[in-house]
Amino acid sequence: MTAQNGHRPFDVGAIRRDFPILKREVASGARLVYLDNAATSQKPVQVIAEITRYYRDHNANIHRGVHTLSMEASELYDGVREKVRAFINAPRESEVVFTRNTTESINLVAYGWGRKFLAAGDEVVISEIEHHSNIVPWQVLRDERGIVLKYIPMLPDGTLDLEYARQVIGPRTKLLAITAMSNALGTIVPLHELIPLAKAHGAVVLVDGAQSVPHMAVDVQALGADFLAFSSHKMLGPTGVGVLWGRQELLAAMDPFMSGGDMILTVTMESATWNEVPYKFEAGTPNIAGVIAFGAAIDYLQSLGMERVRAHELELVDYGLRRLGDVPGVTIYGPPDAADRGGVISFSVEDVHPHDVGQVLDSHGVAVRAGHHCAQPVMAALNVPATVRASFYIYNTPAEIDVLAGAIEEANRYFGVLSA
């Protein structure tokens, strides 16, 4: 594939050379096939080097010193805020808040906005396919403040019931908190239909972008949402770094999530005033090295082009659906059309527990996730205890999907012998 629009060629072989861990041999000498990207992605040498460079050349606290190292570290850290702004096309750099992860970003909204602006009887609408991180904070708020929590149900094919959504989103809806893509099934949620429904009733919209932002182009201004939460570690960056983007006026009106150093403007023994947005929400020393290295991850993805990242994954999931669909005993969950899902395939193997399947796959070097994927309501709707989830990213190949399919067939043979 040739370079287009200033992007480097999407050469999967070259990309894989940037990820040393993919050369590892695991499980009796098998070459690692990493298909657990929905949990966390691997890190390229460019990101790893940036962490080392910070600690080797610039290690100092930020925003608090006038010496050279502190000034350098502050400039590097603050520069990433602009990279994030550009990556999601946010109007202002000050609307980008650094957190630890998507979970903390959602909790920040629940605590700082929800506790201040939601009252008993106000309705919050979520969906049945949410990650626990976008369910539990609203349940806590329901129990504390008496808000009404409603949800959009999942249809048998893993998509949302949009007709029901039109009924449940109404005049009392104050917040729609919705995922852009299911971590358990890969379902891409039609935000272009749901967000206008909420906005028609004056509701605020929070989008959980943990699974979407790493895999497809996101433009918050075109999206029309009020908040967007996502994580560095799912998009080539370090763990311990998350982002909350929010509209300036909402962030300014919110209360701080935590208090302490760097989020204050003045402190006396009697009172305190808060720093401006976004620093109001960034108490204490942050993950400086992680944020700086996150900038290198954004640079890497930008060099590839997010439209082309999406196109590569679409090819993989299309091939994966067809390849796994040919394996006897495999049931695939979620939308049947690859275009309606991200790079995720959740499945089960007849009469074999997902954890057992996962262990057999590991013996072939294939890393997948087996469990409820922090989405127990989805498992309940499917009437299964768990699924096996294979999830793809920029460095995965069709040949690795073939290894996955062969390992599943081996699991079939192994457990078929045991049950005979």
Question: Which residues are marked as active site?
Answer: 374
Record the tokens describing residue 93, joined without a space: 């750099």
Report the distance separating Cα 59 and Cα 288, nearest Å.
Answer: 9
Q: How many helices (H) and strands (E) in the chain?
A: 15, 17
Q: Name the residue among 360, 352, 321 with its Cα closest to residue 338.
A: 321
Q: Which residues contact 176 (CB under 8 A, 6 or more apart)?
A: 124, 125, 126, 169, 194, 195, 197, 198, 203, 204, 205, 206
Phi, psi of 201, deg, nearest 5: -105, 10
User: Inter-axis angle of helices 306-325 and 398-419, to 10 degrees?
Assistant: 30
Report the distance separating Cα 333 and Cα 336, nearest Å.
Answer: 8
Chain-centre distance for alpha carbon 245: 14
Record the tokens describing residue 49, joined without a space: 């080097």
Q: Name the residue among 79, 72, 103 with its Cα closest to residue 294.
A: 79
Q: Give the chain's length.
A: 420
Identity of the amino acid at 25: E
* Residue with the two structure tokens 């070259």: 14
Report the distance separating Cα 148 and Cα 232, nearest Å.
Answer: 32
Identity of the amino acid at 273: T
